[in-house]
Amino acid sequence: MDVRPYRVEEDGEATYRLRRLAFGGPRTPDPEWLRANDSWIGLVAGERGSHAGFLRIWRYGQFYGGRSVPMGGIASVAVDPSMRGRGVAGALLVACLERMRAEGLVLSALYPAAVPLYRRYGWEQAGVFQSVDLATTTLPRHRGGTIRAGVKEDAGAILAAYTRVASQVDGALDRGSPAFDPAAVLDEDIVTVVPGADGVTGYLVAQRAAERLVVEDLVADDVPSAMALLDAVASWAGQLDSVRLRVLDPVVHATLLALPYHLHVSTQPWMVRVVDLVPAVAARGWPAAAALRPLAVDVEVTDEHAPWQQGRYRIVCEDGQVRAEPGGSGAVRLTVRGLSAWYAGAATAATLRRAGLLDGDLGDAAALDALTGAPRLSIMADAF
């Protein structure tokens, strides 16, 4: 099975068909699909010019430890129905690992339609995309605060407000990365901002759906800004009974609101994979490192699909910095799934051992938990 780069003129309509068969959608391609786009990379699988499968890699950044890590977001993985079961998806995933490494995308994330497939190639569950459904009658009213409609000149300030919060949420996407257009936010149904002395201190982005208000972003620097935006959402009471709030900052619904215990939460898991260990460790932030004594943990990584990172490494923490360097005794043995879950802080060493993803000296492995603060729930507020 050959895998080659996507070319708009040759592959646009055929790969759109594959995606439509896999995920649904109109028969006529979106014009954006047939246009060259630097925000993503496409790969096509087939033999003698056929179109057996397709995937795209979004050029993203993902925040961990306060820093944006170059990340390839895998999406639109589609295989022709007549070619399923012949290794097409696997060939695409192996090729995409090589391409991401070449592009400097040291991490990868995806929303899995087929969990066993992605685990087979090294991805592991690390976080969630969550929405909460709230009755408009439970929201605060008349808390004051100045708000106004967003205008195109606010695009930069809205991005800055998002980044201030998202950079402190492990797993959140960096919307300053090439795959995002900061001005596109102004195309949404409702854009409301809280003006501040130097930009905006909060903003709200929402869509008016048939049955409810769908809040895609509610981001605020402080309590007064958050309450002013929640008051704007509450003003829909009488017109709509409920609002769906996409979660970026759990503080908004979990701390600021007095909600009933039977709150409905919709959760969609996502998976992560380390593509290139040494630069991935260098790119990530490690806030706990400043408070830790110097330590070194010897690990051995098993990764048959990314052989460039298979082998022994020493994870070193000293002078508030963390690095991975080749060598060491391999006292802690990690599958690539275990490595990826550790990197995201999604599980402790003890949990990974029970899951069969880690073996060896648990005393040494426990030091890895101190670096990430595991277990931590990572949150992504963007679907792709």
- Give residue 187's pLDDT band: very low, low, confident or very high (50, 70, 90): very high
Mean pLDDT, residues 78-91: 96
Q: Give me the CATH code for the 140-256 domain, please.
A: 3.40.630.30
The pLDDT of residue 157 is above 80: yes
Residues 228-248 have pLDDT tens digits of 999 999 999 989 999 999 999
124, β-bridge pairs: 272
Residues 90-115 have pLDDT tens digits of 999 999 999 999 999 999 999 999 99
DSSP label at 239?
T
Residues 6+ apart with CB under 8 A from 373: 287, 288, 345
Residues 308-336 have pLDDT tens digits of 999 999 999 999 999 999 999 999 999 99
Please tell us whether the domain made up of 2-105 is placed in CATH 3.40.630.30.
yes
Domains 2-105 and 140-256 share a fold: yes
- What's the CA gap between 146 and 252, in Å, rounded? 18
| Residue 243, pLDDT score | 95
| Residue 361, pLDDT score | 85
Residue indicated by tokens 């990379």: 41
Q: What percent of the chain has pLDDT over 70?
A: 99
- What's the CA gap between 17 and 356, in Å, rounded? 39
Buried-exposed string 309-336: b where 16+ CB fall within 10 A, e elsewhere: bebebbbbbeeeebebeeebebbbbbbb
Query: Which of 75, 85, 1, 4 is CA-nearest to residue 40?
Result: 75
| Residue 222, pLDDT score | 93
Q: Is the pTM of this model over 0.85?
A: yes
| Residue 252, pLDDT score | 87
Domain ranges of the chain: 2-105, 140-256, 276-377
Q: What is the DSSP string of 21-62?
A: HHH---SSPPGGGGS--TTEEEEEEESTT---EEEEEEEEEE
- Give residue 49's pLDDT band: very low, low, confident or very high (50, 70, 90): confident
- What's the CA gap between 235 and 142, in Å, rounded? 9
| Residue 105, pLDDT score | 98
Residue indicated by tokens 């930069």: 156
CATH pick for 276-377 out of 3.30.1050.10, 3.40.630.30, 3.10.450.40, 3.40.109.10 = 3.30.1050.10
Mean pLDDT, residues 69-84: 97
